[in-house]
Structure 1
Amino acid sequence: MQVWCDFRTTPPVQEIDPVFDSTLSKNGEGYSLNGNVVSYKGEVVGEFVCIQNSESYNQARAKIGLVTWLIVDFTDWKMIPIENLIAECEDSGTMLGVVVTMPAEVNGIAFALEKGVDAIIVKPEDLLIEACMIAKASRMENQPVSEAVKDEKKDSLDLIEGTITSIESGGVGERYCIDLTSLISNGEGMLIGSSSSSLALVHGEVIKSQYVPARPFRVNAGPPHSYVLMADGKTKYIAELLSGDEIMLISDSGQSRTATIGRLKIEKRPFLRISWENDYQISNSIYLQQAETVRIVAGVGKVISVTDLAIGDSILCHNSQYARHIGNQVSISAKEV
């Protein structure tokens, strides 16, 4: 983590405290601010955004991946937007700098979402300098080097056969059916689950039965708390889905394609809780409606109704070592049980 000295409203001095790695000033040495444009040694490297509301927050988000540095200041909410921006900046090529005015805020921002920001920008005041020295030393001691997070957005995903360890009643709750504007093929479905570390492949309702017709545009996805993998590689809670959202369809061989949600059908239904273990020895589960028409993919060319499942059966799933924050993959030590 870097610490910058904020000279935007105070005259620069000849010597600054050793805690500072650089400076931010208006048209001066170090990082230079001209309007909202951030430059370094004459080269444009970033954007400055004062976040006052959701509109300016989204303006800041729109710069992620396009600039080397995103520098933000806040007039109201701070910690939640910072956590969200840290998650979105990870593996994007954009570093996040935050203007801090209160010594008590320094440590929280230095370790927000465990990872912290890339730069804290403070005025050359004694209490702020002392807080930055402590936070900077702690970051150097405690923050591990993490591998870059790999984006899930690609044409194919690795699917692994997990082993079901338990099947039990999941009570009654709101069941969501996700109805698409395109047809689902045999062997296709959506990746859904209660934990981001392992999502199960839930098959589309493409199989006819003697009691109900097929619904080849539908996935019976389960309750509102479950994650579902979207077309952009992020996850959403099922309760967050809207008509028009683009979702990812996955085949039993791991091939993916994009589909658009036409509507959501929500009804009270009984659930089964199906659990399995993934590659990271973490127990994972999915809640699915207790109905013969709801099926999981057990392997290539193998589909089983949830009412026919038994302990020891296979379930096709996509595993990840990363946690999720507002749908983004982040390398933090979150645990979902």
Structure 2
Amino acid sequence: MTRAVWVKADDAVGDWDDRRARITAALEAGADWVLVDEGDVERVRELGDIGVAAFRTDGDVTMIDDAEGDETGAQPDAFVVGKDGEGDATIDLPSDFSGSADLSTLRRDGDVDAGAYVRILGKEYETFAEAATEEAEYTIVVGEDWTIIPLENLIARIGEETELVAGVTSAEEAKTAFETLELGADAVLLDSDDPDEIRKTVEVRDEAERETLDLQWGEVVEIERAGSADRVCVDTGSMLEHDEGMLVGSMARGLVFVHAETAESPYVASRPFRVNAGAVHAYVRTPDGGTKYLAELQSGDEVQVVDLEGHTREAIVGRAKIEQRPMFRLALETDDGDRVETLLQNAETIKVATPDGRKAVTDVEVGDELKLYYEDTARHFGEAVEESIIEK
């Protein structure tokens, strides 16, 4: 499931300076959407590239004409109804029902996605939210007291009918929303002025999407000098931690953990953004669970960074350096008795993970155990497939 962070920045936040501060913080943190009033759509477009949802106040999306009478790009990516709304006559609601989407407005055809904004104040509001999902691509539910109507009820009943966006006021609440019933909300709508809270909420989103890999040990059964080959250094746009690296290998089913160059060396300075990953033919794991050849990597691609416990995150490739260097060929045997291999540069700055800590590839011996990720599956164009492929 792909998670998303929305940031609320309508006129309830304050004047334009206050709203702009929230929108700017959302842009800088990497949020996915901002929820604003129709009149601010064009202003948001000028600030940066982000999904824009706008409260519809008059039943039609407002378009702004330029000096030549042409419509400008003031239309949002999604419109949202329900701000100060009065519900819908087709649902049995109390006479004082207010503050939720008008379903008749949602049913209108349009060129942009429709969203419903529903304040959960009691059981009848939950019923209304369920009805709104039949018409809305996005259903935003804001619980003023989640002890009355638990979020899990909505997650269980709405299912895949809509993108469920849960209103939250902190990163901690966002974490709960993403984890509820193990499925969690598809997105959260954060109502906070604190840039740090916005950033932390985006971090919670990223953590919710990341996988944790089950790493194992493989025994080195062969190691030899293999002559020269074209070697790839993957320079990322991120600073990597001391226990982080990448998974690379000659066989996609068995990828060896290679440390980032975070350690100091008497020969060269550390490069904590770099992984000297191996020869051009080798696979490297990507954040979507696929693989790419090292030779294919170029600036702007994403690669998966993994730590010794199997926790993963993504990093953007800033540069892939290909140079001819002397290599080692390492062959390892997995717990299942399978044999996997990789080529690594013959240099003491390339470190692999052993039970006793990191070890230079130049010091690796037969019988050593190295950290690796193994999955008994074949790959075709980087995607796992169920077919027999022999790699040797």
TM-score (normalised: structure 1)? 0.53
Q: Which residue of 2 aligns with 1:223?
A: 279
Q: Which has the higher contact order (CA 8 A, sep 6+)?
A: 1
Are the counterparts in 1 of residues 246 and 285 from structure 2 also a CA contact under 8 Å?
Answer: yes
Tell me, which stretches of 5 or more residues in structure 2 are unaligned? 1-159, 161-208
More strand by share: 1
Are the counterparts in 2 of residues 197 and 323 from structure 1 also a CA contact under 8 Å?
Answer: yes
Counterpart among 366, 372, 392 of residue 311 in structure 1: 366
Superposition map of 1:1-337 within 5 A: 154-299=210-355, 302-337=357-392
Residues in 2 aligned to 1:273 and 1:180: alpha-carbon distance in whole angstroms: 25
Are the counterparts in 2 of residues 280 and 321 from structure 1 also a CA contact under 8 Å?
Answer: no
Are the counterparts in 1 of residues 281 and 294 from structure 2 also a CA contact under 8 Å?
Answer: yes
Secondary structure of the residue that 1:239 maps to in structure 2?
A: helix
What number of residue pairs does the alignment pair up? 185
Q: Aligned residues: percent identity? A: 42
How far is the alpha carbon of 1:241 from its aligned partner? 0.9
RMSD of aligned alpha carbons:
1.5
Residues in 1 aligned to 2:250 and 2:211: alpha-carbon distance in whole angstroms: 24
Secondary structure of the residue that 2:250 maps to in structure 1?
A: strand
Residues in 2 aligned to 1:320 and 1:330: alpha-carbon distance in whole angstroms: 12
Bigger radius of gyration among the two: 2
**Counterpart amino acid of 2:219?**
T
Are the counterparts in 1 of residues 233 and 320 from structure 2 also a CA contact under 8 Å?
Answer: yes
Are the counterparts in 2 of residues 279 and 319 from structure 1 also a CA contact under 8 Å?
Answer: no
How far is the alpha carbon of 1:280 from its aligned partner? 3.2
After superposition, the C-alpha distances for 1:272-299 in whole angstroms (9 at most, x for unaligned) are 0011011332211110000000011124
Residues in 2 aligned to 1:278 and 1:329: alpha-carbon distance in whole angstroms: 19
After superposition, the C-alpha distances for 1:68-117 in whole angstroms (9 at most, x for unaligned) are xxxxxxxxxxxxxxxxxxxxxxxxxxxxxxxxxxxxxxxxxxxxxxxxxx
Are the counterparts in 2 of residues 176 and 220 from structure 1 also a CA contact under 8 Å?
Answer: yes
More helix by share: 2
Q: Which residue of 2 aligns with 1:73?
A: none
Q: Which residue of 2 aligns with 1:148?
A: none
Are the counterparts in 2 of residues 225 and 237 from structure 1 also a CA contact under 8 Å?
Answer: yes
After superposition, the C-alpha distances for 1:154-194 in whole angstroms (9 at most, x for unaligned) are 42100001110011011101111000000110111000000
List structure 1 runs of 4+ shifted beyond 4 angstroms.
none
Tell me, which stretches of 5 or more residues in structure 1 are unaligned? 1-65, 67-152
Residues in 2 aligned to 1:154 and 1:262: alpha-carbon distance in whole angstroms: 21
